[in-house]
Amino acid sequence: MNTVALLAVKGRGRSREEERIFRTWLMLIENYDRRKRGREQRLYLLPPKDRLKRLMAEHGLGPASFEPEISRSQIAEILSGNRSISNTQAGLLGQRFRLRAAAFLKLQ
């Protein structure tokens, strides 16, 4: 168990110092969650190819990173706007980036 979980389980039995540490951890976790939700919301405003481009940059990935499931030429065509992301590719990208496949599809 991690420190926060141990302090949470302790409940009202926490010392003053433990309570201060517990509240600080909770504040840090809430701030992280808030920033992450904001980043994800901004990410979903981008068109699918730009979303893929952004995620690839954040993770330091190049077109070859998706082989053999998606060829580097297909990724290059997607990024240049010459090809749409297929349902199968969207599923693979969703798994890779831990997002829903719909995040990579241009839904009307």
What is the SS3 string spanning the chain?
CCHHHHHHHHHHHCCHHHHHHHHHHHHHHHHHHHHHHHHHHHHCCCCHHHHHHHHHHHHCCCHHHHCCCCCHHHHHHHHHCCCCCCHHHHHHHHHHHCCCHHHHCCCC
What pLDDT is recorded for position 107? 61
In order of start, what are the domains of the chain with their CATH numbers? 3-41 (no CATH), 46-104 (1.10.260)
Q: What is the pTM of this model?
A: 0.60
Residue 108: pLDDT band with limits 50, 70, 90: very low
Residue 1: pLDDT band with limits 50, 70, 90: low
**What does the pLDDT look like over 40-70, one tens digit per residue?**
667 777 888 888 998 999 889 989 889 899 9
User: Amino acid identity of 71?
Assistant: S
Torsion, Cα 48 53 43 28, to 10 degrees, reads: 150
Return the minimum-mean-pLDDT range out of 36-40, 41-45, 70-74. 36-40
